[in-house]
């Protein structure tokens, strides 16, 4: 496998991350997961805009503009002979780079940017979830960043699998629904969509944004509001969203079976159109 590391395409076995890299030692960094179809990247601009916004919050200078990074991803797909595959996952990792021991970042840094790509299977038709005992801290500045540390998500996922479910739904410190382990959450209340607000600790997901946009354009009722476990226990349907699964129906939550809502198909079709409209495939750099 070939990766793109700090401006160069190299064999993964030859890639070297500095032992003092703060992303490796402290989780001091961000990442983006993108989906490419036949070499074209879905919502590339939106992903890189979010990366830039997060880097600005953390005070990390990415060192590459969006056009360069899109070109790098395109070159990487070609180098790995994946430009013709229907689904390829791209992982872009940004670290602050190497630094001395201690928490305070050095004034002068040399960020690490690593991009890898992998064939991605089509998502399952549906998934199941439990409400995890792990809590999401909605007051943390990192709750709205796609930051490197994912220990809470790992613990929640392990809890879910041990309970016989596929995924975990997080409550925040106030007992309100936030998100899944690696996805945003939408609920159906009759023909109206509900999703937690960003202030309740969920990530500003790229697919979440797109679903909100296409739902509103299609005239589907939509509310961004806090959701309690009592509301969750009575919903008629629900689904998760992220860049790789698109819209994934939840067939059961906490052991209670759910049906796929009749509006899922037209909403999924509208999302597909939005994804196709976003496709980016610049000339490799």
Percent of the chain with pLDDT over 70: 98
> How many structural domains does the chain have?
2
Strands (E), the chain: 2-5, 8-11, 29-37, 40-41, 88-95, 112-119, 127-136, 167-172, 177-180, 184-189, 192-195, 221-224, 237-242, 246-253, 256-257
Q: Would residue 104 count as lying in a domain?
A: yes
Say how far apart CA 35 and CA 32 lie, in whole Å: 10
> Does one domain contain both 162 and 250?
yes
Q: How far is CA 223 from CA 124, 178, 274, in A?
A: 27, 15, 21
| Span 202-225, pLDDT tens digits | 999 999 999 999 999 999 999 999
> Does one domain contain both 16 and 64?
yes
Strand partners, 95: 29, 112
> Does one domain contain both 97 and 136?
no
> Does one domain contain both 110 and 166?
no
pLDDT value, residue 236? 87
36 lies in which domain range? 2-119
> Does one domain contain both 103 and 131?
no
Residue 25 sits in a domain of what CATH number?
A: 3.30.470.10
Q: Would residue 146 count as lying in a domain?
A: yes
Eight-state DSSP code of residue 106:
P
Q: Of 94, 119, 144, which closes a domain?
A: 119
Q: Would residue 281 count as lying in a domain?
A: no
Say how far apart CA 179 and CA 245 lie, in whole Å: 15
Q: How far is CA 75 from CA 2, 8, 51, 80, 253, in A?
A: 10, 10, 20, 9, 41
Residue 169 sits in a domain of what CATH number?
A: 3.20.10.10
> Does one domain contain both 139 and 205?
yes
CA angle 98, 102, 108 (to 5 degrees): 45
> Does one domain contain both 38 and 161?
no
Instruction: Show the tokens assigned to 235.
Output: 């919903």
Strand partners, 9: 4
pLDDT value, residue 219? 92
> Does one domain contain both 135 and 237?
yes
pLDDT value, residue 148? 97
Q: Exposed/middle/buried for 68, CB within 10 Å: 0-12, 13-18, 19+?
A: middle
pLDDT tens series, the chain, 285 aa: 999 999 999 999 999 999 999 999 999 999 999 999 999 999 999 999 999 999 999 999 999 999 999 999 999 999 999 999 999 999 999 999 999 999 999 988 999 999 999 999 999 999 999 999 999 999 999 999 999 999 999 999 999 999 999 999 999 999 999 999 999 999 999 999 999 999 999 999 999 999 999 999 999 999 999 999 999 999 989 999 999 999 999 999 999 999 999 999 999 999 999 999 998 544 444
pLDDT value, residue 197? 98
> Does one domain contain both 109 and 195?
no
Q: Of 101, 119, 137, which closes a domain?
A: 119
Say how far apart CA 36 and CA 77 lie, in whole Å: 9
């Amino acid at each position: 496998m070939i990766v793109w590391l700090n401006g160069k395409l190299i064999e993964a076995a030859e890639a070297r991350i500095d032992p003092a890299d703060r992303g490796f030692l402290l989780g001091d960094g961000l990442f983006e997961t993108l989906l490419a179809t036949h070499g074209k990247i879905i919502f590339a601009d939106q992903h890189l805009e979010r990366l830039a916004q997060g880097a600005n919050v953390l005070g990390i200078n990415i060192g590459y503009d969006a056009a360069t990074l899109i070109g790098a991803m395109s070159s990487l797909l070609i180098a790995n002979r994946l430009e013709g595959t229907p689904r390829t996952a791209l992982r872009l990792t940004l670290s602050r780079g190497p630094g001395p021991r201690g928490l305070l970042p050095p004034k002068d840094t040399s960020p690490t940017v690593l991009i890898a790509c992998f064939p991605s299977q089509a998502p399952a038709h549906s998934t199941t979830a439990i409400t995890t005992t792990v809590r999401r801290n909605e007051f943390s500045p990192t709750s709205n960043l796609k930051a490197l540390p994912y220990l809470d998500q790992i613990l929640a996922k392990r809890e879910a699998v041990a309970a016989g479910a596929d995924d975990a739904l997080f409550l925040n410190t106030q007992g309100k629904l936030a998100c899944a382990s690696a996805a945003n959450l939408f609920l159906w209340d009759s023909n109206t969509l509900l999703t937690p607000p960003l202030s309740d600790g969920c990530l500003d997901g790229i697919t979440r944004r797109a679903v909100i946009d296409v739902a509103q354009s299609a005239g589907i009722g939509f509310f961004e509001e806090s959701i309690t476990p009592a509301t969750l226990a009575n919903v008629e349907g629900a689904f998760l969203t992220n860049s790789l699964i698109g819209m994934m129906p939840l067939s059961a939550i906490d052991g209670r079976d759910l049906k796929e809502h009749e509006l899922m198909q037209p909403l999924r079709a509208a999302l597909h159109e939005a994804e196709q409209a976003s496709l980016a495939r610049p000339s490799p750099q």
